[in-house]
Amino acid sequence: MYASAPADIRLAIMSGVVVVVSSPASRSDGANQHRVYLYDIGYNAVIFAMPAILGYGVRTRRANIAQLHERSELLAREAVAEERTAIAARTP
């Protein structure tokens, strides 16, 4: 889980750079002057951040599901071992 932290930080920085660089190019007036509007930056931020946020959510959910599967398998093995011990104790 912690091994992916630097990659997440790099992705966030790259997305921020893309948003800032692409925002002036999204609007221009007749004098060929670029103006950056707050809603342009917000719009670009949503477009570039949403896949990263959704990917993080999916990755986290899959990790939680895998952890639950491992836990259930461990509990099942423990239950089988306890049942075998109980059966062995009952047999003469």
* Spatial distance between the Cα atoms of 28 and 16, rounded to a whole number of angstroms: 21
pLDDT in tens, the chain (92 residues): 444 556 666 667 776 777 666 665 555 555 555 666 777 777 777 887 788 888 888 999 999 999 999 999 999 999 999 999 999 888 76
pLDDT of amino acid 20: 67
Range list of H helices, 1-92:
5-26, 38-90
Distances (CA, A) of 12 to 3, 18, 19, 77, 87: 16, 10, 11, 42, 57
pLDDT of amino acid 64: 95
pLDDT of amino acid 40: 74
pLDDT of amino acid 13: 72
pLDDT of amino acid 41: 75
CA angle at 57 for the pair 53 and 63, rounded to the nearest 5°? 145
Polymer length of the chain = 92
* Stated pTM of the model: 0.51
